């Protein structure tokens, strides 16, 4: 699937229609992961929540995943530590990569902030192809994730 700004505009509109401020946050996280995995056909899509000094697996779609990730470890932990999105073309070349599933070849992770600008979640997507994620994915996904930040 070729992803374009229009693809992400459509995804944002559909996600906005799913978000419901009257349900638990987890319900919105689960619906958003399901939507993104369905529309983009990625291998694994999910959220890790910052709890104390580690990331704890939250809503996700895909095969079983690592349950806890320490601060600064792996791609997700580095994203949390650096407070920035990371695109990895080849996870085997990322020093300290945590291999939750050997089928994952590339990854994008995006931090999600609460109202105090603290990282509350890390949004993580894995693909079975190398070099799958581009800047347009980061931009489009960040726009969709603003819907979650508005709930925090």
Give the span between the Cα atoms of 58 and 152, in whole angstroms. 15
110 within 8 A of 122, measured Cβ to Cβ:
yes
The arrangement of strands across the sheet holding 68-70 comes to: 68-70, 54-61, 44-51, 119-127, 106-113, 86-88
Q: What is the DSSP letter of 43?
A: S
Q: Name the pLDDT band for 23 (thresholds 50, 70, 90).
A: very high
The string of pLDDT tens digits covering residues 73-112 is: 999 999 999 999 999 999 989 987 887 878 899 999 999 9
Strand ranges (E), 26-150: 44-51, 54-61, 68-70, 86-88, 106-113, 119-127
Give the pTM. 0.94
- Predicted confidence at residue 98, as pLDDT, reads 80
* pLDDT (average), residues 15-28: 97
Q: Give residue for tokens 């599933």.
A: 101
Tokens of 33: 């992961």
Give the span between the Cα atoms of 51 and 46, in whole angstroms. 16
121 within 8 A of 50, measured Cβ to Cβ:
yes
Domain segments of the chain as ranges: 5-149
Give the Cβ contact number of residue 109 at 10 Å.
24
- Predicted confidence at residue 36, as pLDDT, reads 96
Average pLDDT, the chain: 94
Q: Does domain 5-149 have CATH number 3.90.1570.30?
A: no
* pLDDT (average), residues 15-23: 96
């Amino acid at each position: 699937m070729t992803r374009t700004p229009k693809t992400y505009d459509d995804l944002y509109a559909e996600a906005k229609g799913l978000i419901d401020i009257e349900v638990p946050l987890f319900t919105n996280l689960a619906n958003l992961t399901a939507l993104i995995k369905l529309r983009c056909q990625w291998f694994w899509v999910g959220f890790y929540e910052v709890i104390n000094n580690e990331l704890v697996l939250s809503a996700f779609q895909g095969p079983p995943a690592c349950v806890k990730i320490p601060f600064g470890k792996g791609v997700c932990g580095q994203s949390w530590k650096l407070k920035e999105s990371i695109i990895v073309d080849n996870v085997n070349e990322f020093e300290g990569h945590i291999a939750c599933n050997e089928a994952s070849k590339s990854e994008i992770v995006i931090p999600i902030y609460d109202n105090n600008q603290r990282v509350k979640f890390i949004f993580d997507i894995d693909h079975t192809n190398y070099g799958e994620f581009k800047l347009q994915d980061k931009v489009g996904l960040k726009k969709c994730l603003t819907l979650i930040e508005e709930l925090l």
